[in-house]
Structure 1
């Protein structure tokens, strides 16, 4: 009888501690998205990024801290041109069209797909890339006058950032407007290979700010800088004190960022970092605040303690 009682107590203790461990594990699990993007729509945050082999995942949150992974992919390769390398998605709700637009890369070509829901399914009207040649990291910017621009990476000088205007359908590039705007040019960008990528444009007090990442994404010195211009088409001038985000706190391999406004209108930046200092994958999603200096320089800064999103 003593042995039976001991076994029962031991079993209960084991089950209890295992339950606590599983709960802690589930609470502390990170959001494993590379090249992350967050959209706030109708009181809910939606996160997209690079992770799945056969499409694009989507996560939801009401507070940016705890996230739920949707059961289905937002975009599946069956609804897209390309068979692999589904990277760097960005999703925007275009009110006058009543649809959500996803800009992403597949097979190292830039694509766009649409959906009636932020959860998808996103589908291409025509299964083809936006450009015939290789390109990645396409990002949408719509100016105050309604003109739409697409920034993206071409492999013309290492990874070089280009920009172009879009037609009203937001899917067709005006090829005559295409031009390179950023390439490797600052000392901190000198880690192999030649990389300027992951562009994202915001506008503040009449000035355009383009954030970008430099160095190989595999390097611990992957980081974020920015450039400014008085027109989306440039010329763009890099901030002389770049990078503004590199090896923050205990993170390495920080980059491919995007910016968004939270439910209070606060500008924030979302980015990925390596799994840890020894392993790159799976990359994790992080969030921080963005502020502009109050003086005439209007310097853009990443500030505050970094938020480390978790799965529910």
Structure 2
């Protein structure tokens, strides 16, 4: 009987405890609900912010993809023309727009090379501020024309600074002999720095030509073209690759220089023919995993070669692939979007402009497929001549996925120091316009478009889009 009573008391105590417990349970439940609601609201707000950011990006880039039209009329034929145009045209062919472009006495001269008074000047404020004007003179912060031809850009994330490297052609244009191409003595590689891609500060010559040593690769009578710089994360050094040649373009080699600073000075190391092959127009590309590649025109410019660099970026490895065989392409400019590699190239026509082509691949080593002419807008002649320019580099626009800047030179063979820059927006998206080489007529890659604008600017706050 006592045992039963003890069980009853124990049961009663448990019941009382159970009756006293609903308040903490309710509190815990309410806290849990509040936390769930909070997490939902935070997640929803994040999704909304992402959607709003995406809409801002779409709105900001809408103008970049709107093309403009250009029109001009050929002047009447003349009996006397520039020897350069006559040499290219021949005695019986009617004059073409390219003849007018090459003729420094043409009535269209000011259209292709506008007067200095229209120069893009970062020291002036007003409606022109932060706008790109393809083909106009572009001044640095000291008011001097930028000398960085055939160049490329390097972005240093730790300082948020872009560095523009290119050929300094601020010397007299001449011909080494009667049949030679127009040239300027080697002065060196210039470097400019910028935070906004529009205002450029001259950091000086970071790799100088050689004045007296005639055996040196960079002796002033030789050729230095298309310098490109990449940073090696493992060694902490900046490595410059360039095309080095003799005045007759028979050396056909690459040169390598190195520096501990993006603004130099760079120490020239050596030259060589990569993979024991001719190398003329070239570029380097650093992939997301840190692997770097050399891409160069070879075999009398009839094909391109691509191969990885060594871990320190100072040499090529033994691995190499021949690509675009028989297509006679040069001036490669490589970029990457959503795991696909793209490359814009030029045809081989000396200083005369020609039609650009864009190519795509799943890996840097190929196979590479040709997608056609990326140029959009302007007019038929503009598109057929890459807007009277030749590409040198493609710059990713950080924070604007699928958008890039196409860097090109509008060469002035009668006065190379006055060659101009043509920077235009590049968009990647949509189906390719033309059947590809190896895909049985079905485009596998997104369309790449270089949009013509006579005046354009980057979207407001583009650096804030992340």
Q: Match of 1:274?
A: 411
State whether structure 2 residue 426 is matched by structure 1 residue 284: no
For 1:191-227, what per-residue CA distance to the aligned partner results, in whole angstroms no more than 9, with x for missing partners? xxxx41111222222222122111314113x242111
Residue 257 in structure 1 maps to residue 387 in structure 2: no
Shift of 1:179: 2.8
Greater strand content: 1
SS of structure 2 residue aligned to 1:73 = strand
Q: Distance in 1 between matches of 2:160 and 2:233?
A: 16
Is contact 1:181–1:235 with CA below 8 Å preserved after alignment?
yes
- The whole-number CA distance in structure 1 between the counterparts of 2:375 and 2:187 is 33
Deviation at 1:129, TM superposition (A): 2.8
Aligned match of 2:322? 180
CA contact (8 A) 2:374 2:450 kept: no
Q: Which residue of 2 aligns with 1:303?
A: 451
- Range moving further from structure 2, 85-94 or 242-251: 242-251
The match for 1:18 is none
Contact 2:331/2:346 (8 A) holds in 1? yes
**Greater RCO (CA < 8 Å, at least 6 residues apart):** 1
Secondary structure at the counterpart of residue 105 of structure 1: strand
Matches for 1:108-187 after TM superposition, within 5 Å: 108-124=252-268, 126-129=269-272, 131=274, 133-154=277-298, 156-175=299-318, 177-185=319-327
Q: Which ranges of structure 2 fall in alignment gaps of 5 or more residues? A: 1-115, 122-135, 139-145, 170-185, 246-251, 432-443, 458-466
Higher-Rg member (1/2): 2
**CA shift at 1:54, angstroms?**
2.8
C-alpha distance in 2, partners of 1:159/1:297?
25
Residues in 2 aligned to 1:109 and 1:95: alpha-carbon distance in whole angstroms: 26
TM-score, length-normalised on structure 2?
0.51
2:154 paired with 1:39: yes
Q: 1:307 to 1:287 in 2, by over 3 A?
A: farther
Distance 2:307 2:454 in 1: 33
**Partner SS for 1:253:** coil
**TM-score, normalized by length of structure 1?**
0.74
Offset from partner CA, 1:110-133 (integer Å, 9 cap, x none): 122111111111113x33335365
CA distance in 1, matches of 2:262, 2:168: 18
